[in-house]
Chain A
Amino acid sequence: MQFMASKQPENSLLGPESDSQRTLYPYVTGTSVVALKYKDGILMAADMGAFGFHSPSSSLFFSCFVLEVCCFKRPGSYGSTLRYKSVQRMKPIGKHSLLGASGEISDFQEILSYLDELILYDNMWDDGNSLGPKEVHNYLTRVMYNRRNKFNPLWNSLVLGGVKNGQKYLGTVSMIGVNFEDNHVATGFGNHLARPILRQEWHENLSFEDGVRLLEKCMRVLLYRDRSAVNKLQIAKITEDGVTISQPYSLKTYWEFSAFENPAQGAIGSW
């Protein structure tokens, strides 16, 4: 986990414009996305907050990437401020897919631009075929892995779900190109907090209400325990008929445990 603060001349090892163009650390990030397969398709949930990222010296994530980095104070950084409260982190792709992303928002927008182009070129063939979720997932994997190999990653964890010809598909791609397909996926903190719940309570052929209830259960735990979670979320549904993204709403939380009211009850003056 060591990286050296370097002066300009030493960067020549990596090429003339080695440092200036690479993503060194994310600036504006969204937190976890949780998704599951249900009877008619895919349900996906994500909250709508985007935080500025705290200073590079304290994070674990960079160790896998950065060889040399210039650690100087960045002006205009948001720190851990909740800067944007209405970011839509789930978008429909083509006719059959839904993409959700956590991580750097600007990289997500870049990915959307790539996918736009991909879908456009596909439509221009005008051959009656359209790219399904499996194909889009594969494309995303190649893009992410390729960028990672060039040491210039798109700092996102993506969730791609969709239905085509009755086949449901749900997959995920991480920022280093790790991809897999499963009945339920989550990014970021969702891996630790939501997946244990999903592993226990997911089953084949969930109804829409059950699926939403399960997703809300996971999002509530994330709201309690993830510091960058925000209580304003959207749930997106994709079926054979298309994509529906719900209006933003909040979850009910419970704070009335008696131990919270007077924690020092056993010993006055303690904490």
Chain B
Amino acid sequence: MSKSVIETPPKGGFSFDLCKRNEMLAKKGVNSPSFRKTGTTIVGLIFQDGVILGADTRATEGPIVCDKNCEKIHYMAPNIYCCGAGTAADTEAVTDMVSSQLQLHRYHTGRESRVVTALTLLKRHLFNYQGYVSAALVLGGVDVTGPHLHTIYPHGSTDTLPFATMGSGSLAAMAVFESNYREGLTRDEGIKLVTEAICSGIFNDLGSGSNVDICVITKGGKEYLRNHLQPNPRTYTSSKGYSFPKKTEVLLTKITPLKEKVEIIEGGGDVMEE
């Protein structure tokens, strides 16, 4: 049995061998499972002291909400954070990967990471995969050169902007920004504007919903306000809470405060942070 064509292993990048098979299956009516997308509203803006990033918290799988409270603001460096829209796996993997690369780079140079470094690493990777890595990112941070805000599109193009929105709710959020943004906002005004923009996305776009996450990055440090606003609480909750049926006998009550068993290492908190 001799093969006229010797099959060599693919050298790197994507191998598109299975695409034909997928097409053939699709013609026969076999539906591939849909991707878990973060159909999303993500925004960023520059205010007078730094950058504020905002995101909603809904992750969708086609028409179903698969995660009501996911985290879309990813850690890149202590002074750089990145919001991700598009396929959830792609945004997580790409931001994780570049975050590790930045850490290694920090060890190598002994300096704080710069936002343009993260930008270049991300755009090179995404361009290399020609848009198949479906990650649309809003990257923001403050480094020695000042505050920066960039958007990165799945095909690898980037923009440097004073305010940016991405995701399915980007038009609703951009409407809010375009009408209300001005330069030199204070921290509270900036947070209020970002919250308004994300809420606009949450209430006007079906792919976005649940809560608002905010991350404020300044020269001094960062503040990650997880679930800063929760405009969609459960409508009906039992006010009595849960109580065990009366017949249960309590034999022993022992409460172990877990906090005491954890050692807090000063200054080492940023390592492995997600």
> B residues within 8 A CB of A259?
46, 149, 160-162
Bound-state Cα–Cα, A265 to B149, Å = 12
Please, which residues of chain A bring their CB within 8 A of the CB of B120? 267, 270
Report whether B160 and A221 are in contact in the complex, using a CB–CB cutoff of 8 Å. no
Is the C-beta of B200 less than 8 angstroms from some C-beta in chain A?
Answer: yes
- How many B residues have CB within 8 A of the partner chain? 27
| B203 CB contacts on chain A under 8 angstroms | 196, 199
Q: How large is the interface on A (under 10, 10 to 19, 20 to 34, 35 or more residues)?
A: 20 to 34
Chain A contacts for B176, CB-based, 8 A:
196-197, 200
A194 at the interface (CB under 8 A from B): yes
Binary contact readout A201-218 vs B (1 if CB under 8 angstroms, 0 otherwise) = 000000000000000011
User: B161, B179, B204: which contacts A221 (Cβ < 8 A)?
Assistant: B179
Q: Give per-residue flags for B102-128: 1 if the beta carbon is below 8 A from chain A beta carbons, else 0.
A: 000000000000111001100000000
Query: Interface readout for B148-184 with A: 1 if CB under 8 Å, 0 if not?
Result: 1100000000111110000000011011101100010
Q: 1/0 contact trace for A122-152 toward B, CB 8 Å? A: 0000000000000000000000000000000
A197 near B146: Cβ-Cβ < 8 Å: no
CB distance from A219 to the nearest CB of B (A): 11
Contacts of A72 in B (CB 8 A): none
Contact at A270–B162, with CB atoms within 8 Å?
no
Closest chain B CB from A264 CB (angstroms):
7
* A192 CA / B175 CA spacing, docked (Å): 8
Q: Is the CB of A196 within 8 A of B175?
A: yes
Q: Is the CB of A197 within 8 A of B145?
A: no
Interface string of A247-270 (1 = CB under 8 A from B): 000000000011110011111001
The answer to whether A266 touches B115, judged by C-beta atoms less than 8 angstroms apart, is yes
Q: C-beta contact mask, A226-266 vs B, less than 8 Å → 1, else 0?
A: 00000000000000000000000000000001111001111
CA distance A217 to B180 in the complex (A): 10
Q: Are the C-beta atoms of B149 and A196 separated by less than 8 Å?
A: no
Indicate if the CB atoms of A196 and B172 lie closer than 8 Å. Answer: yes
Interface positions of A from 33 to 84, Cβ below 8 Å from B: none
Cβ–Cβ contact B116 & A270, under 8 A: yes
A225 in the interface (beta carbon within 8 A): yes
**Contact B171–A192 (Cβ < 8 Å):** yes
- CB contacts (< 8 Å) of B171 on chain A: these are 189, 192-193, 196, 225
How near does chain B come to A26, taking the closest CB pair, in angstroms?
A: 22
Are the C-beta atoms of A220 and B116 separated by less than 8 Å? no
Within the assembled complex, what's the spacing in Å between the Cα atoms of A265 and B115?
Answer: 12
Q: Is A121 an interface residue (CB 8 A)?
A: no
Are the CB atoms of A258 and B200 closer together than 8 Å? no
- Which of A194, A200, A259, A271 has most chain B Cβ within 10 Å? A259
Residue ranges of A at the interface with B (Cβ–Cβ < 8 Å): 189, 192-197, 199-200, 217-218, 220-221, 224-225, 257-260, 263-267, 270-271
What are 21 A-B residue pairs whose CB atoms fall within 8 Å in the complex?
A192-B172, A193-B174, A196-B175, A196-B176, A199-B203, A199-B204, A217-B179, A218-B175, A221-B175, A225-B171, A225-B175, A225-B178, A257-B162, A258-B162, A263-B159, A263-B160, A263-B161, A265-B145, A267-B116, A270-B116, A270-B119
Q: Which 3 residue pairs are nearest across A and B when measured between Cβ atoms?
A: A263-B160, A192-B171, A267-B116
